[in-house]
Structure 1
Amino acid sequence: MAERVVPFILASLLHAFEWRLPDGMSAEELDVSEKFTTANVLTVPLKAVPILASMFHVDHN
Protein backbone atom coordinates (compact mmCIF):
# COMPACT_ATOMS: atom_id res chain seq x y z
CA MET A 1 0.00 0.00 0.00
CA ALA A 2 2.85 2.41 0.81
CA GLU A 3 4.15 1.92 -2.74
CA ARG A 4 0.99 3.65 -3.97
CA VAL A 5 0.46 6.19 -1.20
CA VAL A 6 3.98 7.64 -0.83
CA PRO A 7 4.32 8.78 -4.48
CA PHE A 8 0.84 10.33 -4.29
CA ILE A 9 1.68 12.24 -1.10
CA LEU A 10 5.00 13.42 -2.54
CA ALA A 11 3.31 14.56 -5.75
CA SER A 12 0.66 16.41 -3.74
CA LEU A 13 3.32 18.22 -1.71
CA LEU A 14 5.29 19.16 -4.83
CA HIS A 15 2.11 20.41 -6.50
CA ALA A 16 1.16 22.56 -3.49
CA PHE A 17 4.18 24.83 -3.98
CA GLU A 18 5.54 27.07 -6.71
CA TRP A 19 9.27 26.37 -7.04
CA ARG A 20 11.72 29.19 -7.75
CA LEU A 21 15.46 29.61 -7.87
CA PRO A 22 17.01 31.45 -4.90
CA ASP A 23 17.89 35.16 -4.81
CA GLY A 24 16.46 36.03 -8.22
CA MET A 25 18.78 33.58 -9.98
CA SER A 26 17.81 33.02 -13.62
CA ALA A 27 17.54 29.65 -15.32
CA GLU A 28 20.50 30.59 -17.54
CA GLU A 29 22.74 30.87 -14.45
CA LEU A 30 21.83 27.38 -13.24
CA ASP A 31 24.78 24.95 -13.35
CA VAL A 32 23.53 21.53 -14.45
CA SER A 33 26.91 19.89 -15.01
CA GLU A 34 27.21 16.38 -13.61
CA LYS A 35 29.78 14.37 -11.65
CA PHE A 36 30.19 10.88 -13.01
CA THR A 37 30.08 8.47 -10.11
CA THR A 38 28.07 5.32 -9.46
CA ALA A 39 24.99 7.52 -9.72
CA ASN A 40 25.23 10.70 -11.78
CA VAL A 41 24.72 13.72 -9.54
CA LEU A 42 24.83 17.45 -10.14
CA THR A 43 28.22 19.06 -9.47
CA VAL A 44 26.45 21.94 -7.71
CA PRO A 45 23.40 20.81 -5.71
CA LEU A 46 20.09 22.25 -6.91
CA LYS A 47 18.56 24.73 -4.47
CA ALA A 48 14.90 25.62 -4.95
CA VAL A 49 12.72 27.92 -2.89
CA PRO A 50 9.19 26.66 -2.17
CA ILE A 51 6.42 29.26 -2.21
CA LEU A 52 2.91 28.23 -1.23
CA ALA A 53 0.81 28.12 -4.40
CA SER A 54 -1.88 30.81 -4.61
CA MET A 55 -4.66 28.22 -4.88
CA PHE A 56 -3.75 27.06 -1.35
CA HIS A 57 -3.32 30.54 0.12
CA VAL A 58 -6.07 31.39 2.59
CA ASP A 59 -6.97 35.03 3.16
CA HIS A 60 -8.27 35.47 6.71
CA ASN A 61 -9.70 38.98 6.11
Structure 2
Amino acid sequence: MRFHPLAPHLLPYKAKYYLEILGFTIPKDSNVLVNIWAIARDPRYREDPLSFLPERFLSFNIDFRGRDFEYLPFGAGKRICPGIPPGLRMVHFVLASIIHSFSWKFPQGITLESLNMKEQFGVTLKKVIPLCAIPFIEEKCSQ
Protein backbone atom coordinates (compact mmCIF):
# COMPACT_ATOMS: atom_id res chain seq x y z
CA MET A 1 0.00 0.00 0.00
CA ARG A 2 2.92 2.35 0.55
CA PHE A 3 4.63 1.72 -2.76
CA HIS A 4 1.83 0.82 -5.16
CA PRO A 5 -1.38 2.58 -4.07
CA LEU A 6 -4.65 2.21 -5.92
CA ALA A 7 -5.41 5.93 -5.86
CA PRO A 8 -3.22 9.03 -6.30
CA HIS A 9 -1.01 9.73 -3.33
CA LEU A 10 -1.63 13.47 -3.24
CA LEU A 11 -4.04 14.50 -0.49
CA PRO A 12 -5.73 17.89 -1.01
CA TYR A 13 -5.85 20.27 1.95
CA LYS A 14 -7.15 23.81 2.40
CA ALA A 15 -5.24 25.82 5.01
CA LYS A 16 -7.65 27.12 7.65
CA TYR A 17 -5.00 29.34 9.21
CA TYR A 18 -1.81 31.12 8.24
CA LEU A 19 0.92 28.46 8.51
CA GLU A 20 4.67 28.31 8.39
CA ILE A 21 6.07 24.84 7.70
CA LEU A 22 9.77 24.15 7.29
CA GLY A 23 10.39 27.78 6.40
CA PHE A 24 7.57 27.93 3.83
CA THR A 25 4.68 30.35 4.32
CA ILE A 26 1.20 29.05 3.52
CA PRO A 27 -1.45 31.81 3.56
CA LYS A 28 -4.90 31.13 5.01
CA ASP A 29 -7.33 29.55 2.47
CA SER A 30 -4.48 28.25 0.28
CA ASN A 31 -5.03 24.92 -1.44
CA VAL A 32 -2.08 22.58 -1.02
CA LEU A 33 -1.39 18.94 -1.85
CA VAL A 34 0.16 16.72 0.81
CA ASN A 35 2.60 14.38 -0.92
CA ILE A 36 1.86 11.05 0.75
CA TRP A 37 4.25 9.33 -1.69
CA ALA A 38 7.14 11.30 -0.18
CA ILE A 39 5.98 10.75 3.42
CA ALA A 40 5.88 6.97 2.84
CA ARG A 41 9.52 7.06 1.74
CA ASP A 42 10.85 9.49 4.37
CA PRO A 43 13.61 8.00 6.56
CA ARG A 44 12.51 10.24 9.46
CA TYR A 45 9.37 8.10 9.84
CA ARG A 46 10.71 4.61 9.21
CA GLU A 47 14.08 2.95 9.03
CA ASP A 48 15.11 1.77 5.56
CA PRO A 49 11.92 3.13 3.92
CA LEU A 50 12.61 1.73 0.45
CA SER A 51 12.76 -1.89 1.62
CA PHE A 52 9.78 -4.21 1.89
CA LEU A 53 9.82 -5.14 5.57
CA PRO A 54 6.29 -6.04 6.68
CA GLU A 55 7.55 -7.01 10.16
CA ARG A 56 8.20 -3.30 10.84
CA PHE A 57 4.45 -2.89 11.37
CA LEU A 58 4.30 -5.44 14.20
CA SER A 59 5.44 -2.79 16.69
CA PHE A 60 3.99 0.12 14.71
CA ASN A 61 1.70 2.08 17.03
CA ILE A 62 0.21 4.38 14.40
CA ASP A 63 -3.40 4.49 13.24
CA PHE A 64 -3.92 3.96 9.49
CA ARG A 65 -7.30 5.76 9.55
CA GLY A 66 -5.75 9.16 8.84
CA ARG A 67 -5.13 10.46 12.35
CA ASP A 68 -1.37 9.95 12.29
CA PHE A 69 0.16 11.67 9.30
CA GLU A 70 3.18 9.35 9.12
CA TYR A 71 1.11 6.58 7.50
CA LEU A 72 -1.76 7.56 5.22
CA PRO A 73 -2.62 4.64 2.93
CA PHE A 74 -6.31 5.63 2.87
CA GLY A 75 -5.96 9.43 2.97
CA ALA A 76 -7.25 11.58 5.81
CA GLY A 77 -9.86 14.11 6.80
CA LYS A 78 -12.99 14.69 4.73
CA ARG A 79 -11.57 12.82 1.77
CA ILE A 80 -10.56 9.63 3.57
CA CYS A 81 -11.40 6.42 1.71
CA PRO A 82 -15.06 5.50 2.27
CA GLY A 83 -14.18 1.82 1.86
CA ILE A 84 -12.27 1.51 5.15
CA PRO A 85 -15.12 0.04 7.29
CA PRO A 86 -16.19 -2.71 4.86
CA GLY A 87 -12.57 -3.32 3.87
CA LEU A 88 -11.55 -3.91 7.49
CA ARG A 89 -14.36 -6.40 7.89
CA MET A 90 -13.53 -8.30 4.69
CA VAL A 91 -9.74 -8.24 4.29
CA HIS A 92 -9.02 -11.15 6.66
CA PHE A 93 -11.74 -13.32 5.12
CA VAL A 94 -10.71 -12.65 1.53
CA LEU A 95 -6.98 -13.10 2.18
CA ALA A 96 -7.54 -16.32 4.14
CA SER A 97 -9.79 -17.66 1.36
CA ILE A 98 -7.20 -16.94 -1.32
CA ILE A 99 -4.34 -18.45 0.67
CA HIS A 100 -6.36 -21.51 1.65
CA SER A 101 -7.79 -22.19 -1.81
CA PHE A 102 -4.59 -22.20 -3.86
CA SER A 103 -0.94 -23.09 -3.87
CA TRP A 104 1.05 -20.24 -5.40
CA LYS A 105 4.05 -20.18 -7.70
CA PHE A 106 5.98 -17.65 -9.77
CA PRO A 107 5.53 -17.62 -13.55
CA GLN A 108 8.09 -19.75 -15.41
CA GLY A 109 11.56 -18.24 -15.30
CA ILE A 110 10.77 -15.74 -12.51
CA THR A 111 12.40 -15.95 -9.08
CA LEU A 112 12.08 -13.78 -6.00
CA GLU A 113 15.44 -12.20 -6.78
CA SER A 114 14.46 -11.37 -10.38
CA LEU A 115 11.20 -9.56 -9.58
CA ASN A 116 11.22 -6.08 -11.11
CA MET A 117 9.71 -3.62 -8.61
CA LYS A 118 10.24 -0.44 -10.67
CA GLU A 119 7.30 1.94 -11.00
CA GLN A 120 5.95 4.17 -13.73
CA PHE A 121 4.18 7.36 -12.80
CA GLY A 122 0.66 8.25 -13.83
CA VAL A 123 -2.59 8.99 -12.04
CA THR A 124 -1.65 5.99 -9.92
CA LEU A 125 1.70 4.29 -9.46
CA LYS A 126 1.87 1.21 -11.64
CA LYS A 127 4.59 -1.35 -11.89
CA VAL A 128 6.59 -1.19 -15.12
CA ILE A 129 6.28 -4.99 -15.35
CA PRO A 130 3.08 -6.07 -13.57
CA LEU A 131 3.25 -8.80 -10.94
CA CYS A 132 1.67 -12.04 -11.99
CA ALA A 133 0.82 -14.82 -9.54
CA ILE A 134 -0.32 -18.07 -11.12
CA PRO A 135 -2.55 -20.15 -8.87
CA PHE A 136 -2.57 -23.90 -9.26
CA ILE A 137 -4.62 -26.46 -7.43
CA GLU A 138 -2.72 -29.52 -6.26
CA GLU A 139 -4.26 -32.88 -6.90
CA LYS A 140 -5.35 -34.46 -3.63
CA CYS A 141 -5.17 -38.23 -3.27
CA SER A 142 -8.18 -39.96 -1.89
CA GLN A 143 -7.40 -43.27 -0.20
| Common topology (TM > 0.5) | yes
Place the TM-score, normalised by the shorter chain, in its bin. 0.5 to 0.7
Say if 2:108 is the partner of 1:26.
no
State the superposition RMSD in angstroms.
2.5
Say if 2:104 is the partner of 1:15.
no
Alpha-carbon distance in structure 2 between the residues aligned to 1:37 and 1:26:
27
> Are residues 43 and 37 of structure 1, via their aligned partners in 2, closer, same or farther at CA, if it must alter by over 3 Å?
same
Alpha-carbon distance in structure 1 between the residues aligned to 2:117 and 2:127:
6
**TM-score under structure 2 normalisation?**
0.33
The structure with more helix, counted as a fraction of residues: 1
Runs (5+) with no aligned partner, structure 2: 1-84
Secondary structure of the structure 2 residue equivalent to 1:15: helix
Measured against aligned partners, the alpha-carbon deviations of 1:2-50 in whole angstroms (never above 9, x if no partner) come to 812x323311223213432111421121111101111111011101122
Poorly superposed stretches of 4+, deviation over 6 Å: none
Q: Which residue of 1 aligns with 2:126?
A: 41
Identity %: 23
Rg bigger for which structure?
A: 2
- The residue type equivalent to 1:37 in the other structure is G
How many residues get paired? 56
